[in-house]
Amino acid sequence: MLARTVTHALVGLDARRVEVEAHLQRGLPAFAIVGLADRACQEAKERVRSGIASAELEWPLRRITVNLAPAELRKEGSGFDLPIALAVLAASRQVPADALLGHAAVGELALDGRLRPVGGVLAAAEGARQAGLSKLLCAAGCAAEAALAGIEPVPLRHLAEAVDYLRGDWVPPPVEKISLNGRHPEPAGPDLADVRGQQRGRRALELAAMGGHNLLLGGPPGTGKTMLARRLPGILPRLPPDEALEITRIHSVAGLLPPERPLVSVPPFRAPHHTASVSAIVGGGPNPRPGEASLAHHGVLFLDELPEFPRNALEALRQPLEDGAISIARVGGRIVFPARFQLVATMNLCPCGARGDPAAECSCSAARLAAYRDKLSRALLDRFDLVVTVPRPRAGELEAGPGEASEAVRLRVTAARERAAAEPLRRSKQANELLARAVERLPLSARGRARVASVARTAALLGGAGEVDAEHVAEALSYRSPTELGASWTS
């Protein structure tokens, strides 16, 4: 007796169709899973057996072989529990085999037969829809996520419900569809109103939010660098539907999607610790998974204490900073994860942290200082469009009232982004002259010139100007990269 269900295995962010075949034969009772199943997948045996028993169904006392085809594709994770259970039940004629037609299934079984959500449901649902399947059997917790793919989800709380549904004895409750354009409740992030003073830092943050520029905040510890950086997501415009869907798929594959908020509608903010490995940051593993850089796609990757990160991890970020994607090569093929993020980093000016603080004296030797700065390659530093040194605030600034709230800044940024999309901006004659003078005088590299021009455009758009003028170029010049600042960074 043979039965078949359809499910999906993830390769990178893509779902590949996998057929789960269950075959019951005479012989001593046994249960084998073949088809390159990993450890979690092999353990499905125990969960499926207990799940079927808990649903008060019969475990066939036969020789059971489950094949996951195509056999050469590596299968990982616990999402195969439900399709395996359904294939076994169909093969033992406990559910009608033809009821499974047009359905895909994904989900992990608890020992009591309940269904648990798994990662990557959105990708699986998209795969199912593209394969012409119309319904996806999945845990109730993932149903809303599956619905985003435009497929009809069958939300299940228990294996018994799946059986009742397939027998035609139970109609699943409708799944509330999430509108991609609608407003969704979001957890309130930290607000810019908490930041006192720091006018220059705030301005740089607003420019970064508007233009998607990479931002480096330097300065002695305790001056509010991290505090400022953490407030960037709060002033970024909401994600357009296609971007929201893209980032939701990545977070789903990584298993980071909270069931109560199945759509990531605000730009993600990822802050890996500096002890993170290279593959944790750019992605990797035997069956490659997205790293922090991809999880920050369309959002912010925040690296606190930049020079403390392993140098090879930082250098690995140069590819995504340039191409907006990370490709991971494996013997079996190449996997590409999107990673178009905005990089925000903080650093002290020296290892002891006292540099830039008038009240403290730096105790670092010249060699130690040089070693600290050598950790950051020029190529990486060149990727920062905006560099701001945040000195220790004076007492007077801390007594200042609360600053402008994030919401107001975000409205301004959103409006400026809309203007940016509407019309191209030209540079005035004076602006071009100033730019040429800066190239000669400062000196500014070709990449540096392009960077200054792009920040100047951002400043002009934020200011609502009709063209990029000299004042905008001048402002952009004041956020130059440390490789162009000379004295305090390179000696």
Partner 1 sequence: MDELILAAFAAETGEHIVKEPRERRFQRFRRTFDVDGYRLSLAERGFRFVGQNDPEYPPLLRELHDPPPGLFLRGAGRAELLRAPAVAIVGARACSSYGAQVARLLGRELASAGLVVLSGLARGVDAEAHRGALEAGGLTLAVLGCGIDRDYPAAHAQLARRMCERGVLASEYAPSVDPAPWRFPARNRIVAGLAAATVIVEARERSGALITADFAVETGREVFAVPGEITSSLSAGTNALLRLGATPLTSSDDVLDALGIVPVEAAPIQLGEHATAVLAELAREPAGADQLIRDTGLDASAVATALAELELVRAVTEAEGLYRGVRPAG
Q: Which of 82, 250, 477, 483 binds partner 1 (CB under 8 A)?
A: 477
The answer to whether 194 contacts partner 1 (rule: CB under 8 A) is: no
The CA distances from residue 202 to 155, 233, 301, 342, in Å, are 46, 13, 18, 17
- The answer to whether the beta carbons of residues 192 and 160 sit under 8 Å apart is no
| Residue 476 CB contacts under 8 Å (≥ 6 apart), including other chains | 452, 453, 454, 455, 456, 458, 459
| Residue 474 CB contacts under 8 Å (≥ 6 apart), including other chains | 434
The answer to whether 465 contacts partner 1 (rule: CB under 8 A) is: no
Q: Which of 122, 162, 438, 468 binds partner 1 (CB under 8 A)?
A: 438
Candidates 76-84, 85-93, 96-104, 436-444; binding stretch for partner 1 (CB under 8 A)? 436-444
Count of CB atoms within 10 A of residue 306's CB? 22
Task: Report the distance separating Cα 32 and Cα 50, nearest Å.
Answer: 15
Pure H helices in 183-266: 199-211, 225-229, 241-253
Candidates 24-32, 94-102, 283-291, 359-367; binding stretch for partner 1 (CB under 8 A)? 359-367
The answer to whether 409 contacts partner 1 (rule: CB under 8 A) is: no
The answer to whether 404 contacts partner 1 (rule: CB under 8 A) is: no
* Closer of 199 and 277 to partner 1 (Cβ): 199
* Closer of 158 and 355 to partner 1 (Cβ): 355
The answer to whether 370 contacts partner 1 (rule: CB under 8 A) is: yes
The radius of gyration of the chain's CA atoms, rounded to the nearest angstrom, is 27
The CA distances from residue 183 to 209, 213, 242, 262, 322, in Å, are 20, 26, 15, 13, 32
Torsion of CA 415, 416, 422, 427, to 10 degrees: 160
Q: Which of 78, 346, 389, 483 binds partner 1 (CB under 8 A)?
A: 389
Q: Which of 378, 397, 367 is nearest to 223 (CA)?
A: 397
The answer to whether 425 contacts partner 1 (rule: CB under 8 A) is: no
We find the least distance from the C-beta atom of residue 470 to partner 1, in angstroms, to be 9
Count of CB atoms within 10 A of residue 207's CB? 25
- The answer to whether the beta carbons of residues 123 and 255 sit under 8 Å apart is no
Q: Which of 151, 390, 413, 468 binds partner 1 (CB under 8 A)?
A: 390
We find the least distance from the C-beta atom of residue 135 to partner 1, in angstroms, to be 56
The answer to whether 349 contacts partner 1 (rule: CB under 8 A) is: yes
Q: Which of 54, 445, 454, 478 binds partner 1 (CB under 8 A)?
A: 478
The answer to whether 385 contacts partner 1 (rule: CB under 8 A) is: no
The answer to whether 329 contacts partner 1 (rule: CB under 8 A) is: no
Phi (first) and psi of residue 455, to 5 degrees: -70, -35
* Closer of 185 and 396 to partner 1 (Cβ): 396
The answer to whether 431 contacts partner 1 (rule: CB under 8 A) is: no
* Closer of 111 and 485 to partner 1 (Cβ): 485
The answer to whether 397 contacts partner 1 (rule: CB under 8 A) is: yes
* Closer of 73 and 364 to partner 1 (Cβ): 364
- The answer to whether the beta carbons of residues 431 and 472 sit under 8 Å apart is yes
Task: Report the distance separating Cα 108 and Cα 142, nearest Å.
Answer: 11
What x-and-dash track marks residues 21-60 binding partner 1 by CB under 8 A? ----------------------------------------
Q: Is 134 helix (H, G, I), strand (E, B) or coil?
A: coil
Q: Which of 405, 425, 442, 465 binds partner 1 (CB under 8 A)?
A: 442
The answer to whether 219 contacts partner 1 (rule: CB under 8 A) is: yes
The CA distances from residue 352 to 357, 359, 368, 483, in Å, are 11, 14, 10, 21
Binding site for partner 1 (CB under 8 A): 197-203, 218-219, 349, 355-356, 358, 361-362, 364-366, 369-370, 388-391, 393-394, 396-397, 434, 437-438, 441-442, 459, 463, 471, 474-479, 485-488, 491
